Structure 1
Amino acid sequence: MFCCLFVFTAGLAPQAVATDNTASIPNRGALFKIEQKGHVSWLFGTIHVGADSFYPLEPRVTAALQSASVLALEVDPLGSQDEMARAVREYGMYQNGRGPASSELPAAYRPRLERLLRQYDVPAPSVAPMKPWMIASLLTVREFEAQGYQSDLAVEVWLSRQARSRKQKIVELESVQAQMALFGRMSTADQALFLRETIDAIEDKEQADDARAIAQAWATADQAALERIAEKTASDDTFSGRFVARVLLDGRNPLLADGIAQLLAREQHSVAAIGVLHLVGKGSVPELLRRKGLRVERIY
Structure 2
Amino acid sequence: MFCCLFVFTAGLAPQATAADGIPNRGALFRIEQADGKAGNVTWLFGTIHVGAKSFYPLEPVITAALENASVLALEVDPLGSQDDIAGAVREFGMYPAGRGPASAELAAAYRPRLERLLRQYDVPPASVAPMKPWMLASLLTVREFERQGYQTALAVEVWLSQGARARKQKIVELESVQAQMALFGRMATSDQALFLQETIEAIDGREQASDARAIASAWATADRAALDRIADKTAADDTFSGRFVSRVLLGERNPLLAERIATLLAREKQSVAAIGVLHLVGKDSVPELLRRQGLRVERVY
- Normalised TM-score (structure 1): 0.96
Specify the alignment match of 1:57 in structure 2.
58
The CA RMSD over aligned residues, in Å, is: 1.4
Cα displacement (A) at 1:97: 1.3
Q: Does 1:113 align with 2:114?
A: yes
Written as runs of structure 1 = structure 2, the 5 A alignment for 1:1-300 is 1-3=1-3, 6-9=5-8, 23-36=20-33, 37-300=38-301
Aligned equivalents of 2:70 and 2:124: distance in 1? 44
Mapped partners of 2:87, 2:286: distance in 1: 29
Q: 1:171 to 1:194 in 2, by over 3 A?
A: same
Q: Give the CA deviation at 1:105.
A: 0.5
Contact in 2 for aligned 1:10/1:144 (Cα 8 Å): no
User: SS in structure 1 opposite 2:20?
Assistant: helix
Equivalent residues of 1:10, 1:147 under 8 A apart: no
Give the letter for the 1:30 counterpart: A
Q: What SS does the corresponding residue of 1:24 show, helix, strand or coil?
A: coil
C-alpha contact 1:10 1:208 (8 A) present in aligned 2: no
Q: C-alpha displacement at 1:6, in angstroms?
A: 2.2
Task: After TM superposition, give the deviation of residue 96 of structure 1 in Å.
Answer: 2.8
Count of residue pairs the alignment pairs up: 293
Name the SS of the counterpart of 1:61 in structure 2. helix
Distance in 2 of aligned mates of 1:10 and 1:294: 31
Amino acid of the structure 1 residue aligned with 2:150? Y
Per-residue displacement from partner, 1:263-293 (whole Å, max 9, x unpaired)? 0000000000000000000100000000111
Residue 201 of structure 1, CA deviation = 0.1
Distance in 2 separating the partners of 1:58 and 1:96: 48
Please tell me the residue identity of whatever aligns with 1:160: S
Instruction: Look up the equivalent residue of 1:134 and give its one-letter code.
Output: M
Aligned to 1:272, the other structure's residue is in SS state strand
User: CA offsets, 1:16-67, max 9 Å, x none?
Assistant: xxxxx97110000000000122100000000001000100000000000000
Instruction: Give the aligned residue type for 2:6.
Output: V
User: CA contact under 8 A between 1:22 and 1:58: conserved in structure 2?
Assistant: no
Structure-1 separation of matches of 2:98 and 2:199: 25
Report % sequence identity. Answer: 78
Q: Which blocks of at least 5 consecutive residues in structure 1 are unaligned?
A: 14-20
Correspondence for 1:17: none
In structure 2, the gaps of 5 or more residues are: 13-17
